[in-house]
Structure formats: structure tokens, C-alpha cells
């Protein structure tokens, strides 16, 4: 365990310029000595070596006052040195050595030098090493004089602050402060980013408006194209619908043609069959048949071909009509496009001319800008030359200024020394005069103290005599009280026992109560006695006698009937519940004749004993009852008319009317108890009076105790006053001696300082002349440097910058104009190209239609010619057919039937052929229409694909929309063609800034979370420390006083802006705040608080300087026990004047002054002889 092994002191405070060594051991070490002997300076020397720099802590006004100043005439260096040797066998101090020596030296100039194991180091290194071993100055391990008093007066906030400082909450505050700085920087960066984003957002809004106009233009173009596409789609749908309808019609016609062809084939098969039959029957008419068949075949083919040509001609003529209608439309559209293009081309020429003018302006502005830049470069070169010259002059001035500052510093230092010397002279002179006055006052005070000591001795003697008398009186009263308490206890116990029974009987109101009340006046009322008091019997007959006399055993016995009436009247007047009275004179004489039976024992009255005077009483009660041996005998006698009872207590009335069985009854003593009630009441009254007497005695005893306590307090105060006066008297004598020595030293010191002032005056005059010389040299150098050139250059540069700024603004305006015109030119060129493309497609369509019309016309002409040829051929075939029919010769009747059939079939076949030809003509017409529709559909689909649409798009009437969009599109002009690209670039930059802003916000949020975590950790650390201190306070305070003490947070929701209440409850006293109790109690509470705080960060050693000064003997004893217990874990070096602490110490040092220098003696284990350390 780390502990202080040794302290070496040289020239420190009251220890003179001679090395003083004080050895220590683990455990409790006591340092004692008279006031002013310098015992506390040993502890000051330890903390001085450990790096303490606060003069007030070491009880001086400044650090240089720590140097010993009594031996002022001593030759050699004036310095203070303190070396502390620590046992480091467990390496708690991170130095690879079993012993760590820390030395601190301070010279007379206040310069400090630190050494670690004889090697020079710095203070921060020493503090860091000690902090690692929990032995630093901030661990509350050095409790100086007055610390306990200051702690006892701590406010609730100061108590909280003490715990915070001890557990190092400043670490959390530093981290929080640093985090708050980072948060401020993050907030500033975020504000800058937001400001930049605001500027960029403004530019984005402007670009967005320009882009929106450009996009609106593009959207209008697309929408216009789309609506044109919708118009084309409308036409396409119409064309497609027509095409689909015609395809359906064509399909129906084709199916009919096929149907009719199948029917015609069937007819032709039938005709062929008839022809073959006919040919077999007409072998001779074969030639005719063959010719007729050939003609019919040719005729049918000719008719079919004729119809086909006719339908083709009709379809071609219809297509020519459509073409003729479309060509004028195309020409009108081309004329409109040409007129629009001429307008666009004129606008394009105007814009190009305007752009050329803008280009010339732009070139001129560029030339002006280049000229300004060349002038600015020239001015900047001149400025750099002037700056280099000024730098040389400035370096010279700086060198001279440095010399001047050094000279001023030296002068200031000498003047400070002179002022300090003069202030010391004044201070020492005033101190000397004060000392002279103090010596006079101390001498007068010495006489007064001697008188006070005599008065205290007389008072103490008188008070001790009074206390002895009061203690003797107190012991007598205590003895009397003990005897009275014993009497009270026994009498109260007896009274309580009988009082309960009496109350119970009175509550029942039994006849025993009546008897008892009447017996109180038995003689007066003439009562002879009670039945059970006047008779007796043997034990063996008790059950039989009690069974027979159960109703009369407690009856009152009187002498005559008159007495009976008197008693009855008294009972009625007192409202008594019930009573039985037997007058002796009224009992008749009677003798029972016993029956002759073996079970009969005798008459029961013969077995009852009583006085002869009361013989009639037993005859009255038992003379008519027969005593039988067994139950059967008794029952038999009862049947015979006798009253019978068995020895076991079974009583039978005469004639068996009733049976009374007595098993184990007894005669109650209630009457006796009730009779005692009067005595008990008297006893209770006596007990009450006795209690009052005891209370009076106790009150007297309390007064005596109060008097004894008052005298004891006065005695304690007198003894304390005597001790204090003795101590003050001894201190006074030492102070008078010390003041006398100090007076001599101050006189010599003043003469030394006056001599030093003379030498300082010479040095000051030297420095002042040097400073004056340097001022003159600096003025000369500054005069040689002309600053007019620099001002001229600055003015010229400012003028050029203003001019450049104006030209740049012109350039920006020209560039904006140029971009606007370029955008307009681009849009017009785009529109012109679109018009060219449309005109080209119309021209191609016109040429295609013209070619198609020529082809159709040629086709019609050729078909007309072929039609005429086929009609002539058809007529010839008809003629040939008629010729054959007319020249066929005689018809064979047998073939007529075939001819008729063939005629019918042929007619049907001809009708079918006509229908088929008609349908085929329709089919040809439909095919031509379909080809035209397919061609139109193809062109419309081409238009749709050119606009990027297909035929499935939704369609509606778009003509009004197209007109509106065209008007709006024409109204959009002065577009910025590059606005979308610029907008994207700036937007991308804005998004980057937004990403940067988000990262800054995340950074800020992380810092805020870090601050919240710090606050949470700080709160938890404080609460853990608070609980530990609270637990230790409860334990230590209970050990020392038997009372209770605890800590309470004043505001748990806001710990660090509120305080801690330290509540104290001494035995038999109410709880109070620690600041509201008496002075001695405050000291005790403060010591408990200090001991509890030390448990937060246990130190390997503690330094206590008279912390028990204000404690009384019992509490000092308890404190010494606690310190002895704790000294097993840590070393305690304690300055104390209390015997209890000195007795518990393992090692004791005594300090005494001699010639103004402290000396140390050792007493170890109370056995070793005293030796000088």
C-alpha cells in the first residue's frame, strides 16, 4: 500500500535552515504540540512537495512567505525545500521503484523546481503520477485547519459541488463544453450551407421558370404532335373501320361465290351426266352435241371474263375520283407551308443580324476587359514592389520595436521590484508599528488572563461542590422511587386481580351480591351467619349434602321472624336482586321415622355437624331426607313418599317428582370477594395517591438532573474556559516573545530594502535612457518611408476594379441577350425544318397519286378495249348457238326430255354464273377499295410512327385543341434553349449542397446525442456517488452518536441546479438541517461528511489537521475509533491535541518551538524513549 515513509524539510515556514526528517509508518500517526509550535507545518510541507500552489491552503498570503524568515541574518541561499518519500512496493504510483521521492524547491524569487527520484521534472508530471494512485491534491485527503468549519457552513449547492469536484464531474463538463463548441461550429456550418442553398435556390427558381417555358414549348410541340397524331389516328380508325367493313363484305361475297360455285359445280355435274346419257342415246347426233357443248363452254367463259373486266373498270374509275379530290388539298397545304416558311426565314435572318450585332458588342467588351486586366496587372506589380520596400522598412521597425519592448520589459521589471521593495518597506514599517501596539496590548491581556484563570479555578471548585450535593440527594430519591415502584407494582397487581372478579359479580347481580351487601351490616341487621358457614360435614357425604341443600346452602340465618322482615325491608330498599332467609325460632321440631329397608343408611341430618345452638337448622335442611346406599334404594324410598339421596349425590324428591344430581359442585366464594370490594376501592385510592407522590418525586428528580446538568455544563464551560485561558496564556507568552523577535527582524529587513532601492534607482535611469534612444531611431526610420505611393496604388487599383466590375456587368447582360437570341434562332430553325419535312412528304404523296392515276387510266382504257372484243366474241357465239339449234335437224322425241332437263339445269347454271360474275365484280371493286384503304392506312401509320404513337391510342375530336395549342405555341418566344441543361447542373449542385446539409444535420444531431449521453452519464455517476456518500454518512453517524443522518436531493428532476440537504437527527432530538444545529453538532456532522466523502475515492493516505478541535471527549473518542479502524486500509497522519487520538496512534510526534524554529520529538508505541528526530 502506498504511504508516506518520510518527510525532509528545509527552510519551510517554522522549520529553519537545517534539514529536519520526520519518519512515518502505515496506520494512525499522531502529531501533537502546543499552539504555534509548527505541528501543522509538517502537513503543509507534505502538500507543498505534492504540488500545492494555493497560499491560503498553506495559511500564508503568498508562496514566498513559505520560506523561513526568522533566521533573517543567516548567510547562504534563502530557499524552502520539502521532500516526501512514498512506499511504492505495490507500484500504485507508476514508477519502477519501491520508493518514490518527490522534492520541491522554491528560491527567494518564488521560482519552483520539482524532482522525481533526484531527477528534475515538472509539476504536471508529479500531479499525474499522484492522481493515478488516488493520492492527488483533489482527493480530499488533506483536511486543513478550518476545513471542517467551512464544510459545516456549506450551503446545499456547495455540498453538491464538493461531491461533483471529488468524483471529477468537471470531466463531463469539459466534454460537454467541447461538444457544445463543436455544436456551435456545426450550427455555423449549417447556417452557411443553408445561406448558400438559399442563393442557389433563388437561381434555381429563375432557371426553373426559364426551363418551364422551354419545357412548356417542348410539351406544346409534343402535345401538338400528339393531337395531330390523334387526328391521324381518328382518320386511321375511320379508314380501318372502312377497311374492316369491306374485308367483311369481301369475305361474305367470297363465301357466297364459293357457295354459288359449289352449286354451279353440282349443276354442271348433273348437266354433264345428262349430257353423257344424252350422248349415249344420240350417237347419230354426236357432232351436233359436241358443237353445242363447245359453244356453250366458250359462251360461259366469255361471259365470266366480260363481267370481270367490267367490275375492274368501275373500281378504277372510283379510285381516280378519290385521287382527283386529294391532289388539290395537297397543293393548298403546300402553298400554306411555303408562306409560313417565308415568314420564318425572314425572322431567322433578322435574328441572325441581331446576333451578329451582339457578337460585335461582345467582342468590344472582351477587348475592354482585356485592356482593364492588363492595367490591373501593371498596378499589382507596382503594389508588390512597394510592398517589398515596406516589408524591409517594417522589419527594421520590428527589430527596433523588439529592442524597445525588451527595454520596457526590463524597466517594468525593475520598477516592479522597486515598487515591491517600497511596498515591503511600507508594509514592514506598518507591521512594525502594529507589532509595537500588539506587544503593549498583549502585556495588558496577560494580566487579564491571569485574573481570569484565578476566577475559573474558584468557579470550578464551587460547581463541583454543588454537583456532589445534588448527586447525593439524587441517589436518595432514586432509592425511594425504587421502593415505591415495587410497592406500586405489587398492590396494583393484587387490586387488578380482585377488581376484575368484583366487576364480573356485580355485573351478574347474583344472590351472592345481596348476601355480601347485607353482611356488610351483619351485626346491625341481626344476621347470625350463612348456612355453609354454620354447618360442616365429612368428605364422603359432601355430594349428598350439596345435592339436597343446593338452594339453601347460601341462605342467611337469623334468630327470629321479626329480624327476617327487617332484612327483607332493607333488601327491598337497596333494590337487591334475591335472597333467602331462615329464622331459627320458626323451625319446628321434627324427627323422621326411618323405613325398614336394607338400603337405608340413616337420616341425612345425622351426618351433618353444627353447634347445638343451630341443631334446628340441620333438622330443617336435612331432617326429612333419607340417606340411601344405592340409587335403586333411593328410588324405592322415593316411591314410598320419602325424600331420598344417595352417597354419590343423586337426590330424589318424594313420589319420584324430580331428581337432582350433584356431580362435582362447589360453594363459590363470591360473597367473600364482594365483601372485599370496599377494601379494594380503598387500595386503589391509595395506589392513586402513591402514584402522584412518585410523579412528584420524579419531577423533583428531573429538577435535580436539570440542575446537575446545568452545573455540569457550567463546569464544562468553566473547564473549557480555563483550558482555553491556559492555552491562550501560554500562546500569549509565546506571541509576546515571537513579536519581540519579529520586531527586531523587521527593523533589519527595512534597512536592507532601503539599500536595495538605491541600486534599483540607478538601474531605472539606465533603462529609461535606452528606451528614449530606441524611440528616436524608430521615428527616423518611419520618416524615411513615404507612404504616398502606397495610397496612390491603392486608389488606382480601386478605380480599375470598379471599372472592371462595370464591364463584367455589361458582358453578363450581352451574354444573356446572346443566349436569348440563340434560343429564338434555334426554335425558328426547328420550326422551319419541320415545315420542310411536311412539305416534302406532301410532294411525295402528290407524285405518288399522279402516277397511280395514270396507271389506273391506262388500265381502264385497256380494259375497255378488251371488253369490246369480248362482247363481239360473245355475240358471235350466240349466233353460232342459234345456228346449231336451227340446223339441228329433226329432234328425237326421246331426247327432248333430256333437252328440257338440260335447259332447266343450264338456265340455273347460267343464273348462278351471272350471280357469281356479279359477286366477283363486287369482289374486285372491294379489293381495289381495300388496296386504297391499306395504302391510306399505311400512310397514316407512318405519320403516327413519325410522332411516336400507334393506332391504339385514345382518340377524340382534337381540332379545337390543335388550334389552341398552335396559338399558345406561337405566343412563346425569347426562350433560353440552354435553361434545362443549366437547371440540371445547378440542381445537381443544389442536391450536392443538400447532401452536404443533410450530413451537417446528421453531424449536429450526433453531437446533440453525444451531449445527451454525457448528461446521462454525468447524472448516473453523480447519483452513484451520492448513494455511496449517503450510505457512509448513515453508518458513520450512527456509530459515533447512535443517531441518524442522511442526504436528500432537493430536486431530483434538476440535480445540478439544486442542492443537497444534509439532515441530522441526534438521539432524542427532532431531525434538522445540518446548518440549523449547534456549533459542536455542526462540527461533528461536518467530520462525518468528510469521512463519507473520502470513501468515494479512497486515498492511500490522509492528512488531518486538528479536525477534532471542536469535539467533546466522547465524540473525540468515537472519532479516534473510526480512524483507527480505517487506518488498517489507509495511512492517517493527524495533528491533534486530544488524548483519545494520541492513545490510538501507533506513532506519536511532538512538536515544540525553540528560538522561533520548530523541533520534533518521537514517541513510538508508548514504550520507546523520547528522541529528537
542-572 per-position pLDDT tens digit: 888 888 887 687 788 888 878 888 888 877 8
C-alpha gyration radius of the chain: 72
* Least confident among 283-292, 922-931, 1073-1082: 283-292
pLDDT: is 192 or 511 the higher one?
A: 192
pLDDT: is 526 or 285 the higher one?
A: 526
| pLDDT grade for 84, boundaries at 50, 70 and 90 | very high
Q: Which of 474-488, 546-560, 1002-1016 has the highest mean pLDDT?
A: 1002-1016
Does the structure show a pLDDT above 90 at 42?
yes
pLDDT: is 1037 or 592 the higher one?
A: 1037
Q: Which of 14-18, 149-153, 870-874, 1146-1150 has the highest mean pLDDT?
A: 1146-1150
HEC letters along 544-578: HHHHHCCCCCCCEEECCHHHHHHHHHHHHHCCCCC
Mean pLDDT of the chain: 79
Check if the beta carbon of residue 949 is closer than 8 Å to that of residue 259.
Answer: no
Decide if 122 is inside a domain: yes
Host domain of residue 522: 511-670
Of the three residues 615, 647, 670, the one that is the final residue of a domain is 670
Measured from the Cβ of residue 289, the count of other Cβ atoms closer than 10 Å reads 17
CA atoms of 402 and 735, how far apart (whole Å): 53
CA atoms of 1056 and 1017, how far apart (whole Å): 13
CA atoms of 392 and 395, how far apart (whole Å): 5
Q: How many residues does the chain have?
A: 1173
For the chain, what percent of residues have pLDDT higher than 70?
A: 87
Instruction: Output the pLDDT for position 756.
Output: 77
Decide if 618 is inside a domain: yes
What is the per-residue DSSP string for 992-1014?
A: HHHHHHHHHHHHHHHHHHHHHHH
Contacts of 721 by beta carbon, 8 Å cutoff, 6+ apart? 452, 456
Check if the beta carbon of residue 563 is closer than 8 Å to that of residue 526.
Answer: yes
Does the structure show a pLDDT above 60 at 670?
no
Does the structure show a pLDDT above 70 at 291?
no
Closest by CA to 708, choosing from 463, 500, 902, is 463
Instruction: Output the pLDDT for position 285.
Output: 54
Of the three residues 670, 699, 716, the one that is the final residue of a domain is 670
pLDDT: is 901 or 73 the higher one?
A: 901
| pLDDT grade for 808, boundaries at 50, 70 and 90 | confident
CA atoms of 164 and 138, how far apart (whole Å): 11
Of the three residues 649, 670, 691, the one that is the final residue of a domain is 670
Residues in a beta bridge with 651: 645, 660
Query: Residue 545's domain is classified under what CATH number?
Result: 3.30.70.1620
* Least confident among 398-412, 455-469, 581-595, 1144-1158: 398-412
Task: Characterise 898 by phi-psi region: left (phi > 0), alpha (psi -120 to 50), beta (else).
Answer: alpha
Helix then strand count (H, E) for the chain reads 22, 26
Instruction: Output the pLDDT for position 113.
Output: 94
Contacts of 450 by beta carbon, 8 Å cutoff, 6+ apart? 729
Query: Residue 1173's domain is classified under what CATH number?
Result: 3.40.50.300
Instruction: Output the pLDDT for position 201.
Output: 80
Decide if 243 is inside a domain: no
- When divided into structural domains, the chain yields a total of 2
Does the structure show a pLDDT above 90 at 686?
no
Check if the beta carbon of residue 1091 is closer than 8 Å to that of residue 1122.
Answer: yes
Please, how many CA atoms are within 13 Å of residue 569, restricted to the half-sphere of its CB? 7
| pLDDT grade for 4, boundaries at 50, 70 and 90 | very high
Decide if 751 is inside a domain: no
Decide if 578 is inside a domain: yes
Decide if 290 is inside a domain: no
Decide if 877 is inside a domain: no
Closest by CA to 442, choosing from 739, 201, 92, 689, is 739
pTM reported for the whole predicted model: 0.38
Does the structure show a pLDDT above 60 at 1035?
yes
Contacts of 1128 by beta carbon, 8 Å cutoff, 6+ apart? 27
Check if the beta carbon of residue 787 is closer than 8 Å to that of residue 383.
Answer: no
CA atoms of 962 and 229, how far apart (whole Å): 11
Decide if 1126 is inside a domain: yes
Amino acid at each position: 500500500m502506498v504511504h508516506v515513509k518520510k518527510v525532509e524539510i528545509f527552510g519551510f515556514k517554522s522549520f529553519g535552515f537545517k534539514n529536519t526528517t520526520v519518519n512515518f509508518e502505515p496506520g494512525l500517526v499522531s502529531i501533537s504540540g502546543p499552539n504555534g509550535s509548527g505541528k501543522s507545518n509538517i502537513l503543509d510541507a507534505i502538500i507543498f512537495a505534492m504540488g500545492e500552489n494555493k497560499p491560503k491552503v498553506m495559511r500564508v498570503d503568498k508562496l514566498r512567505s513559505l520560506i523561513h524568515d526568522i533566521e533573517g541574518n543567516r548567510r547562504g541561499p534563502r530557499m524552502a525545500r520539502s521532500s516526501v518519500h512514498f512506499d511504492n512496493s505495490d507500484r500504485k504510483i507508476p514508477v519502477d521503484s519501491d520508493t518514490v521521492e518527490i522534492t520541491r524547491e522554491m528560491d527567494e524569487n518564488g521560482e519552483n523546481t520539482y524532482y522525481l527520484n533526484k531527477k528534475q521534472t515538472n509539476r504536471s508530471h508529479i500531479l499525474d503520477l499522484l492522481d493515478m494512485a488516488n493520492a492527488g491534491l483533489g482527493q480530499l485527503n488533506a483536511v486543513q485547519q478550518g476545513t471542517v468549519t467551512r464544510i459545516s457552513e456549506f450551503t446545499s449547492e456547495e455540498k453538491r459541488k464538493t461531491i461533483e469536484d471529488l468524483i471529477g464531474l468537471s470531466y463531463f463538463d469539459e466534454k460537454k463544453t467541447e461538444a457544445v463548441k463543436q455544436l456551435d461550429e456545426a450550427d455555423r456550418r449549417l447556417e452557411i450551407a443553408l445561406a448558400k442553398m438559399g442563393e442557389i435556390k433563388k437561381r434555381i427558381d429563375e432557371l426553373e421558370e426559364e426551363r418551364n417555358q422551354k419545357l412548356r414549348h417542348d410539351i406544346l410541340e409534343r402535345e401538338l404532335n400528339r393531337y395531330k397524331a390523334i387526328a391521324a389516328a381518328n382518320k386511321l380508325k375511320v379508314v380501318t373501320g372502312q377497311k374492316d367493313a369491306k374485308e367483311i363484305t369481301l369475305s361474305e361475297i367470297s363465301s357466297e361465290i364459293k357457295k354459288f360455285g359449289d352449286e354451279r359445280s353440282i349443276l354442271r355435274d348433273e348437266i354433264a351426266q345428262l349430257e353423257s346419257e344424252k350422248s349415249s342415246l344420240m350417237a347419230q347426233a354426236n357432232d351436233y352435241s359436241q358443237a353445242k357443248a363447245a359453244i356453250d363452254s366458250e359462251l360461259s367463259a366469255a361471259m365470266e371474263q366480260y363481267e370481270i373486266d367490267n367490275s375492274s373498270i368501275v373500281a378504277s374509275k372510283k379510285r381516280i375520283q378519290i385521287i382527283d379530290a386529294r391532289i388539290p388539298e395537297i397543293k393548298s397545304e403546300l402553298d400554306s407551308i411555303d408562306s409560313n416558311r417565308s415568314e420564318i426565314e425572314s425572322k431567322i435572318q433578322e435574328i441572325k443580324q441581331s446576333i451578329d450585332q451582339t457578337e460585335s458588342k461582345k467582342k468590344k467588351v472582351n477587348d475592354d476587359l482585356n485592356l482593364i486586366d492588363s492595367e490591373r496587372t501593371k498596378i499589382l506589380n507596382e503594389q508588390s514592389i512597394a510592398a517589398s520596400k515596406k516589408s524591409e522598412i517594417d522589419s527594421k521597425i520590428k527589430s527596433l520595436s523588439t529592442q524597445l519592448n525588451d527595454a520596457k520589459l526590463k524597466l517594468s521589471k525593475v520598477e516592479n521590484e522597486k515598487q515591491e521593495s517600497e511596498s515591503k518597506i511600507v508594509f514592514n514599517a506598518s507591521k512594525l508599528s502594529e507589532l509595537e501596539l500588539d506587544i503593549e496590548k498583549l502585556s495588558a491581556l496577560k494580566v487579564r488572563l491571569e485574573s481570569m484563570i484565578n476566577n475559573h479555578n474558584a468557579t470550578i471548585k464551587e460547581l463541583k461542590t454543588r454537583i456532589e450535593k445534588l448527586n447525593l440527594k439524587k441517589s436518595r430519591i432514586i432509592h425511594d422511587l425504587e421502593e415505591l415502584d415495587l410497592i406500586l407494582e405489587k398492590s396494583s397487581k393484587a387490586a387488578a386481580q380482585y377488581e376484575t372478579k368484583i366487576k364480573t359479580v356485580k355485573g351478574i347481580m347474583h344472590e351472592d351480591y345481596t348476601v355480601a351487601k347485607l353482611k356488610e351490616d351483619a351485626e346491625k341487621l341481626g344476621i347470625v351467619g350463612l348456612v355453609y358457614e354454620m354447618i360442616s360435614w365429612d368428605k364422603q357425604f359432601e355430594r349428598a349434602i350439596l345435592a339436597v341443600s343446593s338452594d339453601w346452602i347460601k341462605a342467611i340465618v337469623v334468630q327470629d321472624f321479626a329480624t327476617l322482615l327487617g332484612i327483607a325491608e332493607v333488601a327491598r330498599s337497596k333494590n337487591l336482586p334475591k335472597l333467602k332467609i331462615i329464622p331459627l325460632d320458626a323451625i319446628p321440631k321434627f324427627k323422621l321415622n326411618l323405613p325398614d329397608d336394607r338400603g337405608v343408611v340413616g337420616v341425612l341430618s345425622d351426618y351433618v355437624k353444627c353447634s347445638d345452638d343451630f341443631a334446628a337448622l340441620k333438622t330443617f335442611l336435612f331432617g326429612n331426607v333419607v340417606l340411601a346406599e344405592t340409587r335403586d334404594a333411593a328410588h324405592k324410598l322415593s316411591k314410598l313418599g320419602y325424600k331420598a339421596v344417595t352417597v354419590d349425590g343423586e337426590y330424589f324428591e318424594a313420589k319420584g317428582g324430580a331428581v337432582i344430581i350433584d356431580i362435582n359442585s362447589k360453594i363459590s366464594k363470591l360473597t367473600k370477594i364482594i365483601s372485599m370490594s370496599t377494601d379494594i376501592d380503598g387500595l386503589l385510592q391509595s395506589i392513586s395517591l402513591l402514584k402522584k407522590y412518585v410523579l412528584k418525586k420524579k419531577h423533583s428528580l428531573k429538577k435535580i438532573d436539570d440542575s446537575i446538568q446545568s452545573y455540569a455544563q457550567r463546569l464544562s464551560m468553566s473547564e473549557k474556559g480555563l483550558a482555553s485561558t491556559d492555552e491562550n496564556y501560554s500562546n500569549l507568552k509565546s506571541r509576546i516573545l515571537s513579536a519581540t523577535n519579529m520586531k527586531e527582524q523587521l527593523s533589519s529587513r527595512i534597512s536592507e530594502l532601503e539599500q536595495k532601492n538605491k541600486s534599483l534607482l540607478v538601474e531605472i535611469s539606465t533603462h529609461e535612457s535606452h528606451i528614449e534612444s530606441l524611440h528616436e531611431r524608430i521615428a527616423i526610420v518611419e520618416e524615411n518611408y513615404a507612404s504616398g505611393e502606397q495610397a496612390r496604388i491603392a486608389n488606382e487599383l480601386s478605380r480599375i476594379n470598379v471599372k472592371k466590375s462595370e464591364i463584367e456587368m455589361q458582358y453578363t447582360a450581352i451574354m444573356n441577350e446572346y443566349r436569348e437570341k440563340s434560343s429564338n434562332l434555334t426554335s425558328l430553325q426547328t420550326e422551319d425544318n419541320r415545315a420542310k419535312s411536311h412539305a416534302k412528304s406532301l410532294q411525295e404523296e402528290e407524285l405518288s397519286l399522279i402516277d397511280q392515276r395514270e396507271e389506273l387510266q391506262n388500265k381502264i382504257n385497256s380494259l375497255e378495249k378488251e371488253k369490246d372484243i369480248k362482247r363481239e366474241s360473245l355475240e358471235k357465239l350466240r349466233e353460232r348457238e342459234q345456228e346449231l339449234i336451227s340446223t339441228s335437224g329433226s329432234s328425237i322425241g326421246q331426247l327432248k326430255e333430256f333437252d328440257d332437263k338440260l335447259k332447266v339445269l343450264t338456265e340455273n347454271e347460267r343464273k348462278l354464273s351471272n350471280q357469281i360474275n356479279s359477286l366477283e365484280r363486287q369482289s374486285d371493286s372491294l379489293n381495289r377499295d381495300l388496296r386504297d384503304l391499306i395504302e391510306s392506312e399505311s400512310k397514316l401509320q407512318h405519320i403516327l410512327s413519325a410522332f411516336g404513337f400507334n393506332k391504339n391510342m385514345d382518340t377524340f375530336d382534337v381540332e379545337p385543341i390543335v388550334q389552341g395549342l398552335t396559338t399558345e405555341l406561337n405566343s412563346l418566344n425569347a426562350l433560353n434553349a440552354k435553361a434545362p441543361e443549366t437547371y440540371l447542373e445547378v440542381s445537381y449542385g443544389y442536391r450536392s449542397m443538400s447532401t452536404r446539409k443533410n450530413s451537417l444535420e446528421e453531424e449536429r444531431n450526433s453531437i446533440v446525442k453525444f451531449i445527451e449521453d454525457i448528461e446521462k452519464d454525468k447524472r448516473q455517476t453523480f447519483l452513484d456517488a451520492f448513494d455511496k456518500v449517503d450510505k457512509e454518512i448513515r453508518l458513520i453517524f450512527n456509530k459515533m452518536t447512535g443517531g441518524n443522518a442522511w442526504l436528500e436531493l432537493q430536486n431530483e428532476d434538476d440535480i445540478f441546479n439544486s442542492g443537497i440537504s444534509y439532515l441530522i437527527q441526534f438521539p432524542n432530538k427532532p431531525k434538522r438541517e445540518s446548518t440549523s444545529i449547534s456549533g459542536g453538532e455542526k462540527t461533528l456532522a461536518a467530520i462525518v461528511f468528510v469521512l463519507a466523502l473520502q470513501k468515494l475515492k479512497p486515498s492511500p493516505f490522509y492528512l488531518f489537521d486538528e479536525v477534532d478541535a471542536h469535539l467533546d471527549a466522547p465524540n473525540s473518542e468515537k472519532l479516534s475509533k473510526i480512524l483507527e479502524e480505517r487506518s488498517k486500509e489507509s495511512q492517517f497522519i493527524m495533528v491533534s491535541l486530544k488524548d483519545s487520538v494520541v492513545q490510538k496512534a501507533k506513532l506519536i510526534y511532538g512538536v515544540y518551538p525553540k528560538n522561533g524554529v520548530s523541533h520534533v520529538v518521537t514517541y513510538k508505541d508508548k514504550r520507546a524513549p523520547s528522541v529528537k528526530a
